[in-house]
Amino acid sequence: MQPITISDRYLGCFLGQSIGDAVGSPIEGMAPDMIYQFFGDSQALMQVPADRELHYTDDTEMMIGVAEALCDEGRIIEDRLVERFVANLNPARGYGPGAIRVLQVMSEGGNWKHLTETMFPGGSYGDGAAMRVAPVGLLFHSDLDRVWHEARLSALPTHVHPMGIEGAQLLAVAVAWLMTHTVFEPEAMYAELLRRAVTDEFRWLLSTAANLSADDSVSILGNGIEAQRSVVTSIACFALAPDDYVEAVGRAIGLGGDTDTLGAMTGALSGTHLGVAGLPGNLVNQLENGERGRDAIIALAVRLHERFCLPALV
Ligand SMILES: [Mg+2]
């Protein structure tokens, strides 16, 4: 077997996220028992009809914005990132109403920072920052402190609640950790995440996840749109099936609830670890390939890797 290169992992991460997002999208909001009844187990629900095109959602559209900003600036500059989000906005991608309001105010040049801070008490603690953060983990993977810092900056345009920020930071660190550990040892990954986790809630979730076995249900970790009910869930779904993209992502989507984001985050982790060759070829082929589809996503992953290879990141 060919060794998985760094560039393979960039491609795997981007495509893994896009496919997980797209497969989870049509069943967002469904209860897990309904999903099982209609689609079967985790393996079966990943077998979508052969002629169906897979369409990604806001999760991947915003991940593209983060990646583009990193390619151009080499770091997160909040105002530049906001410009990307606005330029890329396609309302048909299923943005939540809160995100749409913030993006609308951003596009009008209004006081979006005030809206981000006040729309929800204490700011949003949704998983919207975590769902787009994977490129931060890729680009800064050789420096986990930098990952933690840049992930925070990437969250701030839309998520200022500490839980929303911490969720993004933990997911970014998990991606970065996988970039530098070709042999997956869950205890070591969870130890790194626990060392960095700040809140009792995330510490409890990570400790619980670390003690799950493959036969345990991950539903205790949550399946909701809150960062604390989806980020560690996705990490656990990957960690319980580290060598099987379909099983990991299928398990995440099978939990129901925020299925596109659970699929996106789990897919990003699995794709990073397995590389692009570890993704199911039929699902890669079914990913939409229009103007901002598969080929553009591949080109962006290549561009971000080239940015990583530049001698100095400011
Ligand atoms: Mg979505």
Going from the Cα of 134 to the center of ligand 1, the distance in angstroms, rounded, reads 15
For 134-189, what is each residue's pLDDT tens digit? 999 999 999 999 999 999 999 999 998 999 999 999 999 999 999 999 999 999 99
| Any domain includes 314 | no
Domain membership of residue 183 (yes or no) is yes
Asked if residue 93 belongs to a domain, the reply is yes
Q: How many angstroms does the Cα of residue 264 sit away from the middle of ligand 1?
A: 8
Mean pLDDT computed over 123-132: 91
The CATH number given to whatever domain includes residue 20 is 1.10.4080.10
55 alpha carbon – ligand 1 mean position (Å): 10
Model pLDDT, residue 277: 97
pLDDT of residue 167: 97
Residue pair 252/236 in contact by the 8 Å Cβ criterion: no
Span between the terminal Cα atoms of the chain, in Å = 36
Indicate the SS3 state at residue 261.
helix
The predicted pLDDT at position 51 comes to: 59
Is 1 within the bounds of a domain? no
Instruction: Say what the pTM is.
Output: 0.96
Average pLDDT over residues 209-216: 92
The string of pLDDT tens digits covering residues 252-261 is: 999 999 999 9
The C-alpha atoms of residue 10 and residue 299 are separated, in whole angstroms, by 11
**Coil, helix or strand at residue 224:** coil
Residue 291 Cα to ligand 1 middle (Å) = 19
Backbone angles phi, psi at 167, to 5 degrees: -60, -45
Q: Which domain holds residue 66?
A: 6-309
- Closest Cα to residue 137, out of 127, 125, 152, 147? 147
**How many domains does the structure of the chain reveal?**
1
Distance in Å, CA 20 to ligand 1 centroid: 10
pLDDT the model gives residue 185: 96
List CB contacts of 151: < 8 A, sequence separation 6 or more. Answer: 129, 133, 136, 137, 165, 168, 169, 171, 172, 173
Please give the share of the chain, as a percent, with pLDDT higher than 90.
84
Q: In which band, very low, low, confident or very high, does the pLDDT at 50 lie, cut at 50, 70 and 90?
A: low
Ligand 1 center–CA 96 separation, angstroms: 8
254 backbone dihedrals φ, ψ, rounded to 5°:
-65, -15
Tell me how far the alpha carbon of residue 95 lies from the centroid of ligand 1, in angstroms: 6
Residue-level pLDDT at 22: 95
